[in-house]
Chains A and B, each alone.
Chain A
């Protein structure tokens, strides 16, 4: 039937695109639906950071796999995705942060992440002379962490889905999940078109709860607004992503491919909802925080600000699972790390959906779980 495929994916961000790609690569006919343009959700609003420095073994291993996939991605997708291992440096300005980082480093190393290490302030100065080291004890540094360009990654996956015989439907909202005998059997678009498939995957990111409800399933994902800004491109200065966890800190990096600085911070208190409104407060505050860490950037000009959503679960870990409705799956709730997790989560999710085998990497990501422990390096 013309409107039948092996898999229907709802959501054209990194998670839908990566999951769709790995399913298509395994020979399944994939149809992906996105209500806006590709990347119109969180993925096109993220700052493109990719790191392996997490606190739980499963996240560390998953991210090590993602870094492997990012580094091969240009060749695999036949397109430039601007992967660059520029590193991540988490800054410690007090003893308790330092202790926490040291114990994280031990966990990360025993999980196999060999190049992560503690660098003291003098070494930070030596490696990255532009970073302000007054009041700095040092940091947790992993040179194999890096960056990639979200639009290129998603565009690359989408192109491959089409090449492998699937289709990508932008500006097509899914308004209903078709059911028969307690199973999902397809979707209905807002324009009233029906598409049939025995596998429907909710990859709706911050909207995963709404999409879950179309199938009568509760998905515990809460959106939170995060603002960001980007500067004009200037000469590449070779600094890593800087992460400052203090309440007046933030995260920012410079893209190597075009020299733009891009950054954001976590607002206190957090701002629930999927609003993409940006504020003057952020436009003033983010530059202060950036200049506190790298004073030399004063003349660099901001050209754009925006906002997007983190998609939080109660314990800070994603959800990758089947649901109470047969044939309906959920791959969502990446908790602000979806871009970096995308390749490895997409690969593992595709494997799970095809074979039913969860493998070790998805062990912590069941839909029904206690949601008690928390990922600390958020």
Chain B
């Protein structure tokens, strides 16, 4: 497997880095996110989360349907400071 394969495009996190996080004890996508930043990028994990969950499943023998969901935080899309600052209550 190509270890420099990019898993999280927004944060430039490679497969090797995700594997290392799992070796260090990360057992959920939330923990992988905290250790590697995968999922913290511009798209907020929409692109990489499935891949990470699959890697966790493969490495740790997890069943994908039993995996914990990742906490989703607003805003759902990036919004500029200016638009937010000028928004009405």
Contact = CB atoms under 8 A, between A and B. Distances in A.
Q: Do A and B come from one complex?
A: yes
A287 interface: yes
Given A170-B25, A304-B73, A284 B89 contact: yes
Interface stretch (A239-247, A295-303, A337-345): A295-303
Most B CB within 10 A of own CB, among A168, A298, A300:
A298
A37 B89 contact: no
Interface stretch (B1-9, B56-64, B80-88): B80-88
A311 B54 CA distance: 37
Interface string B25-39: 111101100110100
Contacts of B44: 303-304
Interface in A153-168: 155, 158-159, 162, 168
A168 B40 CA distance: 24
A25 interface: no
A302 B30 CA distance: 20
Given A37-B31, A38-B31, A155-B24, A303 B89 contact: no
Contacts of B40: 304
A44 interface: yes
Contacts of A304: 40, 44, 73-75
B28 A284 contact: no
A284 B25 CA distance: 38
- How would you classify the secondary structure of chain B's contact residues: helix, strand, loop or mixed? loop
A37 B82 contact: no
B34 A287 contact: no
B81 A298 contact: yes
Contacts of A151: 34-35, 37
A170 B84 contact: no
A286 B75 CA distance: 14
A38 B36 CA distance: 13
A291 interface: yes
A56 interface: no
Contacts of B31: 37-38, 170
Contact of A37 (B28, B78, B81): B28
Contacts of B82: 287, 291, 298-299
Nearest to B88: A284
Interface residues of B, number: 27
A302 B78 CA distance: 5
Given A151-B34, A155-B24, A305 B73 contact: yes
Nearest to B87: A284
B10 to A, nearest CB: 9
A176 B17 CA distance: 36
A232 interface: yes
Contacts of B27: 170-171
Interface in A280-316: 280-281, 283-284, 286-288, 290-291, 297-306
Contacts of A232: 42, 78
A278 interface: yes
Interface string A257-289: 010000000000000000000101101101110
Contacts of B84: 283-284, 286-287, 302
B74 A278 contact: yes
A300 B73 CA distance: 18
Contacts of A280: 89
Interface in A96-152: 151
B81 A278 contact: no
Contacts of A286: 84
Interface of B: 11, 24-28, 30-31, 34-35, 37, 40-42, 44, 73-75, 78-82, 84-85, 87, 89
30 contacts: A37-B31, A37-B34, A40-B30, A44-B34, A151-B37, A155-B35, A168-B25, A170-B31, A231-B81, A232-B78, A258-B37, A280-B89, A281-B89, A283-B84, A284-B84, A284-B85, A284-B89, A290-B81, A297-B81, A298-B80, A299-B82, A300-B80, A301-B78, A302-B75, A302-B79, A302-B80, A303-B44, A304-B40, A304-B74, A306-B73
